[in-house]
Amino acid sequence: MDTKKIAITSYYVFVSVLGIVGVLVVVSAFPITGNFKIMAVLSGSMEPAIRTGSIVVVRPSTSYSIGNIVTFTGTSGGKSIPITHRVMEIRVDRGVPSYITKGDANNAPDARLVAHREIIGGLVFSVPYLGYGVETARKPYGLAALILLPAALIIIDQAGRIKKELARLRREKEEKTI
């Protein structure tokens, strides 16, 4: 495979990945009830099932079972953060379920019960390493890069095509004058 084909393939793969990341960020931002949510996994508590830097796509459900992987609202340093762990046990009090969860890589279950209303959704699928891109795209400089990098690549590609076309026109003009 020559370098031109490699460059073209790399270009399309890069633009496609940026487009996918952009669509995922936009779709997950809409506050639609029952909508899929995209979360980045930034810790290794679910390794090897879900790698650090993965994205998880979750969707709310009316019930969860033992063994399901769920994302729920937790707190760290007074801030609300999403946590993705596996349901280990279900407790029902007055018809309302609560869940004991645990990260696969953790030695012990989480310290607190997770109320059903705290669960953002159950795992639909995960994609390794894409979480780094999604988290970067959610920041102002990442969003700018998401727009500017493809634009720069398109401009460079078009400038190259214009240069080739001008060279072709000059050759044709020189051939006609000879």
Q: Which run of H or of E encompasses 141?
A: helix 140-177
- C-alpha closest to that of 112 among 102, 122, 121: 102
- C-alpha closest to that of 63 among 126, 121, 114, 124: 121
Catalytic residue among 28, 54, 110, 126: 110
**Site of tokens 């970067």:** 136
Catalytic residue among 28, 45, 54, 126: 45
Q: Which run of H or of E encompasses 124?
A: strand 119-127
**Site of tokens 């994205």:** 55
CATH code of 3-138, in short, is 2.10.109.10
Rounded Cα–Cα distance for residues 131 and 41 (Å): 7
Is 110 catalytic? The answer is yes
- Other beta carbons within 10 angstroms of residue 34's beta carbon come to 8
DSSP designation for 86: E
DSSP designation for 54: -
Catalytic residue among 28, 54, 85, 126: 85
Mind listing the pLDDT tens digit of every residue in the chain (178 residues)?
577 788 788 888 877 877 776 776 676 666 666 677 888 898 899 999 999 999 898 999 999 999 999 999 887 777 888 999 999 999 999 989 999 999 999 999 999 999 999 999 999 999 898 888 777 777 888 777 777 877 888 898 899 999 999 999 999 888 887 6
